[in-house]
Structure 1
Amino acid sequence: MRTRPVLAVALAPAVLLGLTACSTADEGGADDAASATPSASEACAAGDLPTLTEGTLTVGAGEPFEPWYVGEPTSGEGFESALVYAVAEELGYAAEDVEWETVTFEQIISPAIKPFDLAAYQTTITEERAEAVDFSSPYLTSHQGVIVADDGDYADATSLADLEGARIGVTAAQTSLDAAESAWGDAVEITPFNAAGDGMTALTSGTIDAMVMDVDQGVAASTVYFPDTQVVGTLPDVGEPEQLGLVLDKDSELTECVSQAVDALEADGTLDELRTEWLKSDDVPELS
């Protein structure tokens, strides 16, 4: 297991903000379908799952940052840390049977063999990525948020038009780039950054006027890591809703069981509870 010191959360926000960057019953009726379909815990017992290490669920994650991870991933605090332990419990694993592996975003979405059974790293489900990896059922529908400096020229922006002419930062090769291009076209100057934290540093130094990233990550960035900034709104969705999923090897034997676990947590209200506890973006308006 490889993890990073908690102190890094306080000392290196630019690094920690590295990237952020659903079945129907047949005609027999819902009751018949429910009785014929075993639950995740019945069909996917921990002792029977072909994990990398027998009896252990190895989970990949990046450098911990809020709201996804509060402190080390092992803490169980933060949306994705709590989600992983809830999925593990649904599959029959005790907390001590969960091992964490620090990985990069590139490792997660590449077609190479993975050093983990599943990864929880704010990974948007896309058709292109699904050609290289498997995704679980989605556990969160997300949006792209716009962050500005409290004392900047765009602090009072309430619409897309208010930001025309601005220098907008995005994370290269992430969905924030597509969302920004769709929202403004040539009306803004878009600057890609290797990591969201690099863009936030540029924002606070005045190099750019706004930064686009996942809104939940943006709320944490503006309240924890870069307190002199604020989220002014979200961008309109591009195409299908942007959803996050747990990542597994392509054609993994675990994918169906992990998806069943996520579906069970959605059905019993656990995911709603985790979203309410850890994500603070419900009141952020959409820019139009």
Structure 2
Amino acid sequence: MNPLRTTRTLVASATAVVLALGTASLAQGAVPADHDDDQITIGIKFDQPGIGLKTPDGTYTGFDVDVATYIAKQLGHEPDQIVWKEAKSADRETMLQRGDVDFIAASYSINDERAEKVDFAGPYLLAHQDVLIRADDDSIKQPSDLNDKRLCSVTGSTSAQNVKDEIAPDAQLQEYGGYSECLTGLENGVIDALTTDDSILAGYAAQEEFKGKFKLGGFELSNENYGIGVQKGSDLKDKINTALEKMVDDGSWDAAVEKNFGPANYQNEPAPQIGVIVD
């Protein structure tokens, strides 16, 4: 046999094995080879004021942004070493599984179905499903008052349907394309209430153009434990939990809540005990 041909065959075979192993690793969510060790990539919402918002000037604001920035600092990364990626609700598990991000902080409620696919640090915030109403509306004082009211949520959301199915079956459910449309309808009197997580509602109500116009019902219709999503089996989970505990202990958590939700008079729950899920 020609020795040169044999050498070429062995090189080609070895190359194929390396490529196959590399492809398999990426499929399992490994960090790409061109990853900069000085950087950390974090998934957040880009369209939720008070939670995670990409502003017109390209900066990022919100409670999740502040929490994620604090965690990154504890992991050894300065703010200018953070790469922010939009984490839409339907994409979060896939982003983690593929290794597109190091972790996700995006109003990410911990539940059993998600926990089968990814791991969660936290919880770092206990939110509740609630309603937002006009500040001068005294007709909605308890959940049952939503009967015969025009109730809005975004298309595809389960929040409004939960109210209609379990709390106020006679509510007039209206679905809009986005929360901003619901807010406009609420402001103009076209709808009577908007429902989703109270933290999200508080973020919208705290916007400068809406200050003083809306109030939260304070109904606590469900418990939503917000967690930090990481890849299944990642050692980041314990490190992030340690960072969250420090954030609570040194007062940074309270400062972030006041900064992002304070203008809406959001009656937030105290910082949750890290690692304890509230049913």
TM-score by length of 1: 0.67
**How far apart are 1:214 and its partner, in Å?**
2.0
* Residue equivalent to 1:212: 195
Whole-Å separation in 2 of the counterparts to 1:254 and 1:68: 22
**How far apart are 1:244 and its partner, in Å?**
0.7
CA distance 1:90–1:218, shift in 2 (3 Å): same
* Residue equivalent to 1:242: 224
1:29-65 per-position Cα deviation (integer Å, ceiling 9, x unaligned)? xxxxxxxxxxxxxxxxxxxxx8662232101123244
2:31 and 2:99 in contact (8 A); partners too:
no
Whole-Å separation in 1 of the counterparts to 2:233 and 2:156: 24
Which sections of structure 1, spanning at least 5 residues, go unmatched?
1-49
2:147 and 2:168 in contact (8 A); partners too:
no
| 1:274 alignment partner AA | A
Q: Is it true that 1:265 corresponds to 2:250 in the alignment?
A: no
Whole-Å separation in 2 of the counterparts to 1:226 and 1:147: 15
* Residue equivalent to 1:134: 119
1:196 and 1:213 in contact (8 A); partners too:
no
Q: Is it true that 1:203 corresponds to 2:190 in the alignment?
A: no
* Residue equivalent to 1:93: 77
1:109-144 per-position Cα deviation (integer Å, ceiling 9, x unaligned)? 447524111112111111122122222111111122
CA distance 1:129–1:197, shift in 2 (3 Å): farther
**How far apart are 1:173 and its partner, in Å?**
5.3
Q: Is it true that 1:82 corresponds to 2:66 in the alignment?
A: yes
* Residue equivalent to 1:162: 145
**How far apart are 1:249 and its partner, in Å?**
2.4
Of the structure 1 ranges 65-74 and 195-204, higher mean CA displacement relative to structure 2 is found in 65-74
> SS of the counterpart of 1:139?
strand
CA distance 1:156–1:230, shift in 2 (3 Å): farther
CA distance 1:205–1:212, shift in 2 (3 Å): same
Q: Is it true that 1:190 corresponds to 2:173 in the alignment?
A: yes
Q: Is it true that 1:148 corresponds to 2:130 in the alignment?
A: no
* Residue equivalent to 1:277: 259
Whole-Å separation in 2 of the counterparts to 1:271 and 1:162: 34
> SS of the counterpart of 1:246?
strand
**How far apart are 1:220 and its partner, in Å?**
3.2
TM-score by length of 2: 0.69
Task: Please tell me the root mean square deviation across aligned C-alpha atoms, in Å.
Answer: 3.2
Whole-Å separation in 2 of the counterparts to 1:168 and 1:145: 12
1:55-86 per-position Cα deviation (integer Å, ceiling 9, x unaligned)? 32101123244212465497564322221111
How many residues are treated as equivalent by the alignment? 232
Whole-Å separation in 2 of the counterparts to 1:216 and 1:125: 15
CA distance 1:171–1:256, shift in 2 (3 Å): farther
> SS of the counterpart of 1:262?
helix
Whole-Å separation in 1 of the counterparts to 2:238 and 2:266: 34
Whole-Å separation in 1 of the counterparts to 2:138 and 2:115: 38
Whole-Å separation in 2 of the counterparts to 1:56 and 1:261: 18
Higher strand proportion: 2
2:134 and 2:186 in contact (8 A); partners too:
yes
CA distance 1:188–1:76, shift in 2 (3 Å): closer
